[in-house]
């Protein structure tokens, strides 16, 4: 694309957002201050507010409703007290309720966040962007989170050690908290001044009230909370926690004849150690040796026909905790400089097997050890350093009783460091990230990068009470390796340097490195009045490569976007709140090809009865895809239109439901996508909750990519008319005996089937008319024999090329049954039963037949394990 075109897009986007008219008047709310005092006799944490020590301080009160009717008195008031001694912060809560028999005391495991509850929000950094959140429910269930990005991100993976109890009486319910200062982060000062807010969720009316009022027009949440004063001469409480664990695991599965590695069962005994060491009061070192993630829930079923990798969320505790510090999303979607799922992934290599040989290949690479240094200082530095080593991984091979080992993954070191610095009264920050991946590459791993380095800088500036913002980032990558590795990167679907019609990239088989850049610049209005808008530009150069320890779906793209939204935030008799928005997006590649234009509308309504509805529609008049033909020329799809509608009932009721429908279709019936979704949640008693979600997708496509074959001096890009259907159901079951003892079940069958007909080849890939874009094989040109399609394109009686029948029916089942007992704070026992199976069914069968054949009638693989942890705390 010419430089003046890029400049025009940028100028138009920024003028659009900067010249928007402002509606509504910002409300100035006085900052509330709660002053605490020290005590000498600490209260007994039993949930009953009868200790003399609570008389040392005054009540904090005068809560104001946040939802649904912001700024009005809540149905029932809430009060709190805060005091402290040398080691602990103490909080007392009184939640009034004139109908105590209706208080929702819903049991769940930690971080369940169900029923009536109160959150104590503490910004001990006082950076106006980060807060520690301690939650207690009326049933005595505790939760804890770290809120970042001024309240836009809430991370429930943080599990500090603290103590709390709840009780009920004729006035409502009460609670007490005892929070060690070692679990908070703060700098040295004679008097600590912390951000403070207390939030109450009145569950049966879905009402929320705050001690410090935060108007709906506000652009921030943590930046606008009140303050806690009176914390004098606090001594640094350095954290020291050591948590060894022991795992006993038994695997059972279908025995495979003649395979010595699949004899029907395996037994494993494993041990490791986690530790948390407070280097200072605001910086912590986390260590793990030989970590075990056996209790982690299995990934959901998924299948991708476009050739791209599938993104899965991180669920392993060591990497989830404080992940916000290392986050560096530089573009749109899931693209990130750091993607922790690369660490401990399945091995890259496969052993070379001869006839009659069997191999035992590890499912994951062993993490020998990892260290994470992270935290935030009082003067605004946010710091994160991660060092991880995965070992040489070997497959064991058996040849009639003779054993040998063959390496399938080399020793690898991963290093990530991240820093940000707040300034300008916490309204601005600038930060950076650096990652390094280094492999001990052997001769048989020439296809892997020997080293991969990425660096990035990001910034953000807010002004006018944080209503307006500008933010951006720039990243650069450099990968090195043998010619084979760099050639594979150039030819990968992320880059496709071999594209036959691309003049700005070309494959160089002699290259031993690649260097690329990417980034984003964005500005807009995030608060104040009723209007919100954002405009920006994203780019990824063709050479950008992040997939050694990051996530990059596609390079070679420039994206411009503009979003405008209007909010109705004052409830009426019909609705509680409404918002509608419009957006526009266009994309180009670095050759200047204009690839996509999209216009979208969406809106959502929270009705007065607390039901909700979301709707949206889009028009895509221009769709060109560089990657569709896997190295072939740009491909044009027909114009597309789609819409969606989702609606749900009041989630505070014991039974709630969500139904949804998505419909997308292109002109000339080029392709179609329909998705039906139903979700149910039911809590018949406080101790038991169940949920069931079902999704069914139909995705017919007349031009689904199949393969490519040579024909004379040309390449044939072969497509087919696919009838793809996908069904999945997820069942969850939670039974809580008490807040520290629970049983959870997760199960998901997943089936995706595709049948191909009407095979065709690409004729003119950018033609507007579908019939000119492809040419169908006639009956005399194509014939199938033994699962292979033979093509006699010139009808001379000789096969010109062949390809396998691409029909498929993929079936998967995953389940976890976990009993968890936190027998003392921070120490747990897990009893786990995992069950699963993956198979292929006859594509001629229906989805229900595939379910019966591959899931119901097959012996499943089972894993039984016991995991015991004990946390030593100083």
What are 761's strand-pairing partners? 718, 775
Number of domain units in the chain: 1
Residue 209 lies in a domain: yes
Task: Give the chain's mean pLDDT.
Answer: 91
What pLDDT is recorded for position 23? 36
What pLDDT is recorded for position 312? 84
What pLDDT is recorded for position 292? 77
pLDDT (average), residues 645-654: 94
Q: Estimate to the nearest angstrom the gap between the alpha carbon of 847 and the chain centroid.
A: 29
What pLDDT is recorded for position 692? 97
Six token digits for residue 771: 């019939």
What pLDDT is recorded for position 295? 66
CATH number at residue 139: 2.60.40.1190
Residue 560 lies in a domain: no
Contact present, 695 and 665 (Cβ < 8 Å): no
pLDDT band with cut points at 50, 70 and 90 for residue 22 = very low
In order, the DSSP letters of 723-773 are EEEEEEEEEEEEEEEETTEEEEEEEEEEEEEEEEEEEEEES-TT-SSHHHH
Residue 820 lies in a domain: no
What pLDDT is recorded for position 297? 66
Question: What's the first-to-final CA gap in the chain, in angstroms?
Answer: 61
Residue 675 lies in a domain: no
Residue 8 lies in a domain: no
What pLDDT is recorded for position 10? 44
d(CA 80, CA 34): 10
Contacts with 818 (C-beta within 8 Å, 6 or more apart), sequence order: 295, 743, 744, 745, 830, 831, 832
pLDDT (average), residues 49-76: 95
What pLDDT is recorded for position 324? 80
Residue 211 lies in a domain: yes
pLDDT digit string, tens, across residues 399-430: 988 999 999 999 999 999 999 999 998 899 99
Segments forming the whole domain that contains residue 94: 31-232
Q: 653-674 as b/e, with b when 16 or more CB fall inside 10 Å?
A: eeebbbebebebbbeeebbbbe
Q: Is the pLDDT of residue 20 over 70?
A: no
Residue 424 lies in a domain: no
Residue 853 lies in a domain: no
pLDDT digit string, tens, across residues 720-753: 999 999 999 999 999 999 999 999 999 999 999 9
């Amino acid at each position: 694309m010419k430089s003046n075109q890029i400049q025009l897009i940028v100028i138009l986007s920024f003028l659009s957002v900067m010249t928007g008219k402002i509606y509504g008047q910002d409300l100035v709310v006085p900052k509330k201050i709660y002053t605490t005092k020290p005590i000498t006799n600490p209260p007994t944490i039993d949930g009953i507010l009868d200790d003399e020590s609570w008389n040392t301080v005054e009540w904090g009160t005068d809560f104001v409703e946040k939802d649904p009717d912001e700024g009005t008195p809540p149905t029932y008031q809430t009060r709190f007290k805060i005091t402290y001694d040398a080691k602990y912060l103490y909080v007392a809560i009184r939640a009034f309720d004139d109908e105590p028999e209706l208080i929702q005391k819903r049991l769940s495991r930690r971080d369940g966040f169900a029923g009536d509850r109160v959150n104590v929000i503490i910004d001990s950094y006082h950076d106006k962007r980060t807060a520690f959140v301690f939650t207690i429910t009326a049933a005595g269930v505790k939760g804890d989170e770290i809120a970042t990005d001024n309240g836009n991100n809430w991370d429930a993976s943080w599990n500090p050690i603290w103590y709390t109890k709840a009780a009920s009486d004729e006035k409502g319910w009460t609670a007490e908290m005892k929070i060690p200062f070692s679990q908070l982060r703060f700098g040295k000062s004679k008097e600590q001044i912390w951000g403070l807010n207390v939030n109450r969720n009145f569950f049966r009316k879905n009402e929320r009230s705050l001690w410090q009022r935060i108007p709906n027009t506000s652009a921030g949440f943590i930046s606008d909370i009140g303050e806690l004063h009176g914390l004098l001469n606090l001594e640094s409480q350095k954290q020291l926690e050591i948590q060894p664990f022991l795992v006993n695991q038994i695997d059972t599965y279908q025995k495979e004849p003649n395979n010595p590695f699949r004899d029907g069962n395996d037994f494993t005994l494993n041990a490791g150690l986690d530790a948390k060491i407070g280097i200072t009061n605001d910086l912590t070192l986390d260590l793990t040796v030989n970590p075990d993630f056996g209790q982690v829930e299995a990934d959901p079923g998924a299948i991708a026909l476009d050739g791209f990798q599938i993104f899965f969320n991180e669920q392993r505790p060591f990497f989830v905790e404080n992940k916000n510090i290392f986050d560096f999303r530089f573009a749109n979607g899931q693209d990130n400089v750091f993607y922790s799922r690369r660490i401990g992934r399945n091995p890259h290599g496969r052993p070379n097997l001869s006839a009659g040989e069997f191999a035992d290949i590890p499912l994951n690479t062993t993490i020998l050890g990892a260290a994470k240094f992270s935290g935030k200082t009082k003067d605004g530095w946010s710091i994160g350093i991660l060092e991880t080593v995965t070992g040489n991984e070997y497959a064991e091979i058996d040849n009639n009783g003779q054993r040998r080992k063959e390496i399938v993954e080399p020793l690898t070191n991963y290093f990530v460091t991240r820093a940000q610095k707040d300034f300008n009264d916490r309204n601005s920050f600038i930060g950076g990230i650096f990652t390094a991946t280094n492999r001990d590459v052997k001769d048989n791993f020439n296809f892997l990068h020997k080293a991969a380095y990425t660096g990035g800088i990001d910034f953000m500036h807010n002004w006018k009470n944080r209503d307006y913002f500008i933010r951006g980032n720039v990243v650069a990558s450099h990968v090195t390796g043998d010619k084979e590795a760099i050639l594979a990167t150039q030819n990968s679907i992320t880059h496709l340097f071999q594209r036959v019609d691309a003049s700005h990239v070309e494959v160089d088989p002699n290259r031993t490195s690649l260097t690329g850049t990417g980034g984003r610049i964005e500005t807009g209005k995030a608060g104040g009045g009723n209007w919100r808008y954002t405009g920006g530009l994203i780019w990824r150069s063709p050479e950008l490569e992040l997939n050694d320890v990051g996530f990059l779906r596609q390079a070679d793209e420039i994206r411009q976007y503009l979003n405008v939204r209007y909010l109705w935030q004052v409830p009426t008799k019909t609705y509680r709140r409404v918002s509608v928005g419009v957006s526009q997006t266009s994309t180009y590649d670095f050759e200047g090809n204009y690839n996509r234009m999209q216009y979208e509308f969406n809106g959502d309504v929270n009705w007065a009865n607390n039901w909700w509805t979301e709707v949206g529609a889009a028009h895509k008049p221009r769709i060109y895809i560089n990657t569709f033909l896997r190295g072939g020329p740009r491909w044009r799809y027909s114009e597309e239109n789609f819409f969606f509608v989702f609606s749900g009932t009041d989630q505070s009721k014991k039974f709630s439901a969500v139904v949804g429908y998505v419909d997308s279709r292109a002109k000339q019936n080029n392709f179609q996508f329909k998705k039906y979704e139903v979700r149910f949640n039911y809590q018949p008693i406080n101790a038991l909750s169940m949920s069931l979600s079902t999704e069914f997708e139909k995705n017919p496509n007349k031009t689904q990519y199949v393969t490519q074959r040579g024909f004379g001096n040309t390449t044939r890009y072969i497509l087919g008319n696919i009838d793809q259907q996908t069904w999945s159901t997820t069942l969850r079951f939670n039974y809580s005996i008490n807040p520290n003892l629970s049983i959870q079940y997760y199960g998901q069958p997943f089936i995706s089937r595709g049948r191909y007909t009407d095979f065709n080849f690409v004729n003119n890939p950018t033609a507007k008319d579908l019939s000119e874009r492809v040419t169908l094989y006639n009956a005399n040109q194509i014939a199938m024999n033994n699962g292979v399609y033979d093509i006699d394109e010139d009808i001379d009686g000789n096969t010109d090329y062949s390809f396998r029948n691409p029909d498929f029916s993929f079936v998967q089942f995953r389940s976890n049954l976990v009993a968890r007992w936190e027998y003392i704070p921070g120490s747990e026992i897990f009893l786990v039963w995992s069950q699963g199976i993956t198979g292929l069914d006859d594509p001629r069968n229906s989805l229900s037949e595939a379910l019966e054949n591959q899931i119901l009638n097959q012996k499943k693989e089972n894993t039984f394990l016991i995991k015991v942890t004990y946390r030593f705390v100083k």
